[in-house]
Amino acid sequence: MFEYPVLMIFPVAMAFAGAMDFFTMTIPNRVSVLLIAAFAVAAVVAGMPLAAVGNHVMAGVLLLVIGIVMFSRGWLGGGDAKLLAAAALWIGFDNLFIYLLQVTMLGGLLATTLMGFRGFTLPVRFTAEEWVNRLHKADGGIPYGIAIAGAALWVYPSTHWFLALST
């Protein structure tokens, strides 16, 4: 009975994070905190063995360290680094490579799309929209949370414990 609401926390939180980054260029800390807390509940509900929980925690910690390094070099926002780690916690090492590959591909597509968008003059009707102007600024950042969330949603159905909850 509790499986389906628990199962939905991850995709809803990731979609919310991606949308927030798109519209505000920020990812609230509460999203990453929610994902971490919900993982603990989901692991219990799914009956995930302790060794598998450790696998997932190590994947999250590894991506947090990598995200911190990327943040310190200005390659990634702080919210992006935290979201990447929280998503890796849910995904685990079994699916981590394909997840990172998807993040990279979607991130490249996003960056390319934004560069093209920034090369055009905004139609007048969009100039009043703050979020559109933020995305259009030539020196603006890239809302990488979209790629992080999209990749997580892509990989999520392939995770072992997702399959355990959905059967």
Output the pLDDT for position 100: 96
**What pTM was computed for the model?**
0.91
Position 127 scores a pLDDT of 82
From residue 165, how far is each of 1, 47, 125, 156 by CA, in Å?
Answer: 10, 9, 46, 12
Closest among 34, 142, 134, 141 to 83, alpha carbons compared: 34
What confidence score (pLDDT) does residue 3 get? 67
**Spans of the chain below 50 pLDDT:** none
